[in-house]
């Protein structure tokens, strides 16, 4: 089975996870921005990674564009965001609004912690973050939104790696002993 890791993020957190996953599974890794549309059909399964900005998955347009192909393939989704991985309701709501239902319902989903370093952000993202914080009533939440964090760690990919390996084992043809 031919697999591909494809991702879209802005400041490297999603890209880092994609690189670790590709490395661990021996799969090619591609940016959704640069991947040729006519190549998508060639793969049997996809590990799709995206970060979240203002409640939206970065990769949502690519998912819509490739919907017809993806709905017939095995898909794994990993979502990278600031919201705690334990806040399942919030994390699921991002997927629900950005991933076509036919893909979402058959995908294995993984929520991974992200990274945000204020000084690395472009002016617009920094502006949006400050606006968002200003509109947040809870003072603790407001401070948290504007505080740097980095929870990107290789160990977080382990459940995803196990899930993919389990699938590949199932689909491998039986070895013949003569
Ligand atoms: C302007 C801005 C908006 C964000 N919006 C959200 C959000 O709505 N929900 C969330 O959980 N995280 C949000 N984040 C956090 C990012 O998803 C997080 O930093 C992620 O790790 C970025 O990954 P990337 O470097 O691959 O793009 C936001 C970050 C910024 C800078």
Question: Average per-residue pLDDT in the chain?
Answer: 94
- Residues of each domain in the chain carrying CATH 3.40.50.360: 3-114+151-171
State both tokens at 47.
Answer: 């590990």
Model confidence at 167, pLDDT cuts 50, 70, 90, reads confident
Structure-block tokens of residue 110: 């993984």
Pick the atom of ligand 1 nearest to 121's CA: 31
What's the pTM value of the predicted model, to 2 decimals? 0.95
CA–CA distance, 111 with 77 (Å, rounded to integer): 8
Closest by CA to 103, choosing from 122, 125, 75, is 75
Counting from 1 in the atom list of ligand 1, the atom nearest the Cα of 11 is 25
Q: Which of 92-106, 128-142, 160-174 is predicted with the least confidence, judged by mean pLDDT?
A: 160-174
Any bridge partners for residue 79, and if so which? 50, 111
CATH architecture of structural domain 3-114+151-171: 3-Layer(aba) Sandwich (3.40)
Q: What's the confidence (pLDDT) of residue 163?
A: 97
Ligand 1, pocket-test mutation among 53, 86, 121, most atoms within 8 A of CB: 53
pLDDT at 178 over 70: no
Contact 32, 62 (CB under 8 A): yes
Q: Which residue has the tokens 């880092």?
A: 16
Measured by CA distance, the residue closest to atom 4 of ligand 1 is: 53
Atom of ligand 1 nearest to the CA of 91: 11
Ligand 1: residues within 6 Å at CB? 9-14, 51-55, 80-83, 114-116, 121, 125, 128-129
Mean pLDDT confidence for 52-65: 97
């Amino acid at each position: 089975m031919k697999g591909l890791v494809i991702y879209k993020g802005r400041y490297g957190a999603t890209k880092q996870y994609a690189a670790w996953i590709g490395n661990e599974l021996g799969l090619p890794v591609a940016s959704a921005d640069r991947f040729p549309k006519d190549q998508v059909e060639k793969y049997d399964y996809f590990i799709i990674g995206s970060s979240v900005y203002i409640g939206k998955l970065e990769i949502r347009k690519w998912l819509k564009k490739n919907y017809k192909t993806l709905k017939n393939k095995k898909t794994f989704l990993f979502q990278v965001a600031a919201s705690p991985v334990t806040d399942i309701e919030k994390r699921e709501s991002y997927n629900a609004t950005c991933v076509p239902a036919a893909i979402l319902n058959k995908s294995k989903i993984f929520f991974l912690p992200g990274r945000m370093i204020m000084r690395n952000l472009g002016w617009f993202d920094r502006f949006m973050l400050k606006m968002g914080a200003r509109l947040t009533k809870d003072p603790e939440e407001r401070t948290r939104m504007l505080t740097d964090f980095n929870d990107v760690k290789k160990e977080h990919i382990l459940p995803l790696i196990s899930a993919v390996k389990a699938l590949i084992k199932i689909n491998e043809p039986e070895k013949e002993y003569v």
